[in-house]
Homo-oligomer: A and B are copies of this chain.
Amino acid sequence: MVRARSEERRVEIVRAALEVIAERGYRGAALGTVAERVGLTQQGLLHYFPTKEALLVAVLEERDRWDTGGGTRALADAWRPDLLASLVEYNAMRPGIVQTFSALLGESVTDGHPAREFFAERYAQVRSAMADVLRAEYGDRLPSGLTPEQAAPLLAAVMDGLQYQWLLAPESVDMPGAFRAFLDLIQGPRA
């Protein structure tokens, strides 16, 4: 019972953090602001999430859960190319969370960063799930000639790389359009 209530509280905090991030972006997402929104002191919040990074990782995990439609069974399907195109369009409407993802990914590559393990595992899973989806759809070669294992890291790289360019110049980078052009490229000429 205590455990269930504690879990509920964690979920509430993560949702509040997501709201704050959406409104104020990465830098505005101070632990104090999030704590206030759920009626906790900052000290009280640290009981659930000992650092800002730990809270942000929980937010990104929650986002991945939402974006991939819930539990692990749906996860593989979520990386279907057509759903990815919709995801990128959706991302173009939520700069706060994309900024948080991109900033934290950047920090995570530095030595000993608390989010490093989350991102390392995430990309291993994402590459593997994308390759599975592409193999199920195209077999051993995509129409472009790429193998599923070649296409998967490129898909993830294009999504991430375009996010940085778009965040830096939203008015001159058409993120969803650029991503669709890449999808057309790897899927080859349509029938």
Residues of A bordering B, CB below 8 Å: 25-28, 99, 102-112, 116, 119-120, 123-124, 127, 144-146, 150, 153-154, 156-162, 164-165, 167-169, 172-173, 178, 181-182, 184-186
Nearest chain-B residue to A161 (Cβ)? B157
Q: A99 and B107: CB pair below 8 A?
A: no
Q: Which residues of B contact A109 (CB under 8 A)?
A: 26, 99, 102-103, 106, 164, 167-168
Q: Which residues of B contact A108 (CB under 8 A)?
A: 168
Q: A172 and B124: CB pair below 8 A?
A: yes
Q: Which residues of B contact A178 (CB under 8 A)?
A: 150, 153-154, 157
Q: A164 and B110: CB pair below 8 A?
A: no
Q: B182 and A154: CB pair below 8 A?
A: yes
CA distance A119 to B111 in the complex (A): 23
Q: Which residues of B contact A158 (CB under 8 A)?
A: 154, 157-158, 161
